[in-house]
Structure 1
Amino acid sequence: MTQTNSRPDKNVRSDGAVPPGDGEHKLQANGVSAAGSIVMAVAGSAPAYSIAATTATLVGVAALGAPAALLWCGIPMLGIAWAFLYLGRADVNAGASYSWVARALHPILGFLSGWAVVISATIFMVAGALPAGAMTVTLFAPDQANNTLLVTAVGAVWFLVMAACVLFGVHVTARAQWIMSLIEVAILVLFAVLMITHAASGKHGGPSFSWDWLGFSHLTGANVFVSAALVAAFYYWGWDVSSNLNEETKDGHRNAGSAGIIGVIIVFLLFEIFTIATMVILPAKTIEANSANILSVLGEAVWPGIGGKLLVIAVALSTIATLETTLIQVTRTLFSMGRDHTIPKVFGTLHPRWKTPAFATLVVVAVSVLLFILSNVFGGSVGQIMTNAIASIGIQIAFYYTLAGLAVVIAYRRVLLKSAKNFILIGLWPAAGAVFMGYIFVAGIWQNFANAAWVVNILGLGLIVLGLLPLFLFYGKAKEYYSRRPLELPAELDAAAPPNVDDRDPAR
């Protein structure tokens, strides 16, 4: 399919799937199907992992307002997903927001947006690998579940296995995701039905469900709302990996963005069902006491004997799967940066056989293993490492999602009033998402200063600011990136396009 612009863009290939560069800089086109892109988006948000890792944290922050936090963060998050869809229509690039923000707002903001993706994903390697290790140890040696060294070592092994899948090509990556994610989601759907049946039977350990749990009445106070929103943002984060795979997805300029929207909707439903069920079925003290193993306890309550083990398997698969998608996100972003020479150009090279960013992958692996060691030596308990990582990642997520939401409004400003659809899906909704994310970014940082949460701000904000260093070091070598022209809209959406453009043309 051809990505058709009203003004031909030399930086977009005629097949609409692979952006500029000679053969050395072309990822493997058509390696991911449309359905596979949806699987990637769901796996990126890691529903079972997110529920297991953050439900107790969210309930601890928002209490009965936890379902509302997911709902009122999910709505603006969907606006950001619409932004990614339309930005991807205008520019197929593995860097996604890194490229889009640069061309719609400013190259420096684009670079920092990509940098935020890189550092949030790298920090997540620790936040994701530790639960993978913990779930595996829980399954085979439950008496060693609190052994931080063993948990870290096992998590590192899983991380290396997923790194190998990412290195060996997008086809291998896609097959691994299909297997892990389908089993995970099947288990979650089964337990969603079981939990609804269990709760309907009146077997409650907690309060009965009330519709006001979805309103603002339990999110009183700015501190409560901001803290809950940052945790909720971490729940959803990861669906945008489908956009980082747009060069490798069949008809990526359409399918990658659509997959992100479908992924957000699927995980929203799972998050809400499991959060509400947890609050209804388990007592508050049980939730607090089992923050690291909440799904296992929930499974035992719903299906004694086997339920806990099945959900532990789902969490393990989810965690391992999201390690893979996060590796994809960070390596593709680094590849796009290297291709533009905004970081050392060796990051923009591909393995000649596998067509994957091999150098970027190996560097991320080395840095992540080092972080595993440092977190084990200096980070304290697994729980403390997770708490700091989740809070700091929430700040970085809010930063680059804010910029993406603004970017689509600016890029498409000439066509926002062309139709009600354009106004809502390209203008109003993404803009609302950007305002929401921008608010929790600023308020979250301010709140951390007020609470003396220096570690979170150093990791969250300080590492974004650190991106100014490579920006200045390589500014002179990336003149094309820092002088590239603005995004050009697809012809069927461009107000300046020639009349009688046939949107039914399969070439588009």
Structure 2
Amino acid sequence: MTAAPERTAGKGLATGTLGLWGSTVIGLASTAPVYSLVATLGFVVLAVGASAPIAFIIAFIPMLFIAFAYRELNNAVPDCGTTFTWSTKAFGPWIGWMGGWGVAVAGMVVLANLSQIAGVYLWSLVGDGSLAENAPLVTVTGVAFIAAMTFISYRGVEIGERVQNILLAVQYLVLALFVVLALWKFFDGTAPNPTPFDIGWFNPFGFDDFSGFTEAVLLALFIYWGWDTCLALNEETKDPTRIPGRAALLTTVILLGTYVTVTVAAMMYAGVGEDGAGLSNPDNAEDVFLALKDGLFGPFGWVLVVAVLISAVSSTQTTILPTARGTLAMAAYKALPARFRSVHPRYRTPSFSTLVMGVVASVYYVGMTIISDDILQDSILSLGLAIAFYYALTGFACVWFYRRDLFTSAKNLLVRGILPLLGAVMLTLAFVQSAIDMYDPEYGNTVLLGVGGTFVVGIGALAIGVVLMLIWFVFPGAKPFFRGESLNRDTAVLVPDEPIAYPRSVDGGI
């Protein structure tokens, strides 16, 4: 059996702060359910038509399997470094470092997107909405949102949880109203294209086009991303070994129910036609809720706009949390400069890492906006590569970390071996297929180096991690990490104040 490593002094974070409810709320808020549906539902319907509900279900499967991997790894190693820490313990420092970089890249890119969405939707509520097209104004507003959410994250998890309780409640209230109104108008015959429920919407073999099927599933993968934030806060929960894993599983199941229910209601209300309010109308793809809000909510259509705004702002704050804690853990284990492991003496948050995350995301957002909004949009489209990369790596890490325990029981074989491996393989295939699709110059908004700009930005972002890792390797302070001394299979959980130099094991530091 793999024994849980001995615990020693932690990193100085505020322990015992979050319960199961708080962890689940933060996990849900990180996925930005309202915004995720706005950004994805229309394109999924365009790709597969009436098979959209089953596409969301199929995309949920690898997420669920990887959630099991997160839970099992967290049971033994409840460390806020999550993918970085677990991958290093499983495969050694080089692969582990890249796992940490994958988390950081995803956070940085999505923050730029969320802040822009928040700016656009805020100004669309003012006057005739034309201010939403003022790029400088939207950019300044987006940076202000990043600054505000960085401040909340800096002040502590507890205040962040209270804020998220309110923001998430508003999101789910509006989604509930959306479903109720859509079904009400379907049954009273006032829907623009009332479409009776069809069990065929859930037929896994009902896809007419394989390329459309893969596109829809890859799109749907994005809307589940973010639930792992509750694992990054494991050291700050009341029961680090059990609560985060349970919250992760609960979050993914709630998201599945949310997305499928809203999708079915929208299809019954508007149908999947290509005209008018139809969900397959290309003009509606970028914002299905915007196209349906007036018909559903009448003069209160602005409520949906507010919900999207709140969703983006909410996720901005929760996205900062895992990245800041990931870099804190990397610094604690000598994988980054020591400055990143600073913890605020009063708020007990990763102060320096949180501020750096806010500054880097703001600089990236402003820089991409100045260079080209098309490149910014392509970087957002490439986000799936980073997500699939570090989720798959976590699945493989689970199997390898527990490799000696897999056949000790049927349960261990299933939840530590088969399910994580299947999830990792699925996401690896998704990564490869996404990269192939993005390589096409016709994909996305730009062409760089003769291929799709989305491919160059996505693969380039991961490649930059290799460069940064090699640069850090040169510094003397990095040697304990890359020699497998400060973090290896036997390193104590939660990190001692000074990492213990364990001898490298004969199977490569694992």
| TM-score normalised per structure 2 | 0.86
The answer to whether the aligner puts 1:255 opposite 2:243 as a matched pair is yes
Residues 63 and 218 in structure 1, CA contact (< 8 A), matched pair in contact too:
no
Q: How many angstroms does 1:44 deviate by?
A: 1.0
CA distance in structure 2 between the aligned counterparts of 1:62 and 1:148, rounded to whole angstroms: 33
Written as runs of structure 1 = structure 2, the 5 A alignment for 1:172-187 is 172-187=159-174
Which residue in 1 is equivalent to 2:311? 318
Residues 206 and 284 in structure 1, CA contact (< 8 A), matched pair in contact too:
no
Residues 31 and 170 in structure 1, CA contact (< 8 A), matched pair in contact too:
yes
Which residue in 1 is equivalent to 2:12? 26
Residues 441 and 453 in structure 2, CA contact (< 8 A), matched pair in contact too:
no
Correspondence for 1:445 among 425, 435, 439: 435
SS of aligned partner of 1:354: coil
Written as runs of structure 1 = structure 2, the 5 A alignment for 1:448-463 is 448-451=438-441, 453=443, 454-463=452-461
Say what the alpha-carbon RMSD is for the aligned residues. Answer: 2.4
Correspondence for 2:292 among 274, 294, 298: 298
Residues 193 and 269 in structure 2, CA contact (< 8 A), matched pair in contact too:
yes
Q: How many angstroms does 1:139 deviate by?
A: 1.9
Residues 135 and 316 in structure 1, CA contact (< 8 A), matched pair in contact too:
yes
CA distance in structure 1 between the aligned counterparts of 2:32 and 2:112, rounded to whole angstroms: 15
Correspondence for 2:52 among 38, 43, 66: 66
Structure 1 residues 188-197 or 429-438, which shifts more? 188-197
The alpha-carbon distance between structure 1 residues 164 and 61, as it changes in their structure 2 partners (threshold 3 A), is same
Residues 2 and 404 in structure 2, CA contact (< 8 A), matched pair in contact too:
no
CA distance in structure 2 between the aligned counterparts of 1:463 and 1:277, rounded to whole angstroms: 38
Which residue in 2 is equivalent to 1:270? 258
Residues 5 and 77 in structure 2, CA contact (< 8 A), matched pair in contact too:
no
Q: How many angstroms does 1:416 deviate by?
A: 2.8
Superposed CA deviations along residues 345-381 of structure 1, whole A, max 9, x for unmatched, are 2111112222222222222222222222223223236
CA distance in structure 2 between the aligned counterparts of 1:481 and 1:192, rounded to whole angstroms: 51
Correspondence for 2:24 among 32, 35, 38: 38
Letter of the structure 1 residue corresponding to residue 313 of structure 2: I
CA distance in structure 2 between the aligned counterparts of 1:298 and 1:489, rounded to whole angstroms: 53
Which residue in 2 is equivalent to 1:118? 104
Which residue in 2 is equivalent to 1:356? 349
Q: Percent identity?
A: 29
The alpha-carbon distance between structure 1 residues 372 and 470, as it changes in their structure 2 partners (threshold 3 A), is closer
Which residue in 2 is equivalent to 1:394? 384
- When the two structures are aligned, how many residues end up with a matched partner? 472
Superposed CA deviations along residues 199-249 of structure 1, whole A, max 9, x for unmatched, are 344535275443333334454444323322221111000000001101111
The answer to whether the aligner puts 1:404 opposite 2:394 as a matched pair is yes
Written as runs of structure 1 = structure 2, the 5 A alignment for 1:109-508 is 109-141=95-127, 142-202=129-189, 203-205=191-193, 207-217=195-205, 219-282=207-270, 283-285=273-275, 286=277, 287=279, 288-306=282-300, 308-380=301-373, 385-386=376-377, 388-451=378-441, 453=443, 454-475=452-473, 477-482=477-482, 483=484, 484-486=487-489
Letter of the structure 2 residue corresponding to residue 212 of structure 1: G
The alpha-carbon distance between structure 1 residues 6 and 144, as it changes in their structure 2 partners (threshold 3 A), is closer
The alpha-carbon distance between structure 1 residues 403 and 489, as it changes in their structure 2 partners (threshold 3 A), is farther
SS of aligned partner of 1:9: coil
Which residue in 2 is equivalent to 1:500? none
CA distance in structure 2 between the aligned counterparts of 1:206 and 1:279, rounded to whole angstroms: 8
Q: How many angstroms does 1:7 deviate by?
A: 5.0
Unpaired runs of at least 5, structure 2: 444-451, 494-510
Letter of the structure 1 residue corresponding to residue 182 of structure 2: M
CA distance in structure 2 between the aligned counterparts of 1:432 and 1:201, rounded to whole angstroms: 45
The alpha-carbon distance between structure 1 residues 488 and 212, as it changes in their structure 2 partners (threshold 3 A), is farther
CA distance in structure 2 between the aligned counterparts of 1:420 and 1:171, rounded to whole angstroms: 39
Superposed CA deviations along residues 283-321 of structure 1, whole A, max 9, x for unmatched, are 434443234442233233223221x22222221111111
Residues 54 and 231 in structure 1, CA contact (< 8 A), matched pair in contact too:
yes
Q: How many angstroms does 1:479 deviate by?
A: 4.1
Deviating runs (4+, > 4 A) in structure 1? Answer: 5-8, 487-490
Letter of the structure 1 residue corresponding to residue 24 of structure 2: I
Residues 230 and 395 in structure 1, CA contact (< 8 A), matched pair in contact too:
no
CA distance in structure 1 between the aligned counterparts of 2:348 and 2:223, rounded to whole angstroms: 31
The alpha-carbon distance between structure 1 residues 188 and 229, as it changes in their structure 2 partners (threshold 3 A), is same
Letter of the structure 1 residue corresponding to residue 246 of structure 2: S
CA distance in structure 1 between the aligned counterparts of 2:433 and 2:2, rounded to whole angstroms: 41
Residues 116 and 400 in structure 1, CA contact (< 8 A), matched pair in contact too:
yes
Letter of the structure 1 residue corresponding to residue 118 of structure 2: A
Q: How many angstroms does 1:135 deviate by?
A: 1.6
The alpha-carbon distance between structure 1 residues 324 and 292, as it changes in their structure 2 partners (threshold 3 A), is same
The alpha-carbon distance between structure 1 residues 460 and 341, as it changes in their structure 2 partners (threshold 3 A), is same
Letter of the structure 2 residue corresponding to residue 74 of structure 1: F
Q: How many angstroms does 1:391 deviate by?
A: 2.3
Structure 1 residues 157-166 or 135-144, which shifts more? 135-144
Superposed CA deviations along residues 397-430 of structure 1, whole A, max 9, x for unmatched, are 1111111111112222333334433333222222
Written as runs of structure 1 = structure 2, the 5 A alignment for 1:42-53 is 42-53=28-39
Q: How many angstroms does 1:488 deviate by?
A: 9.2
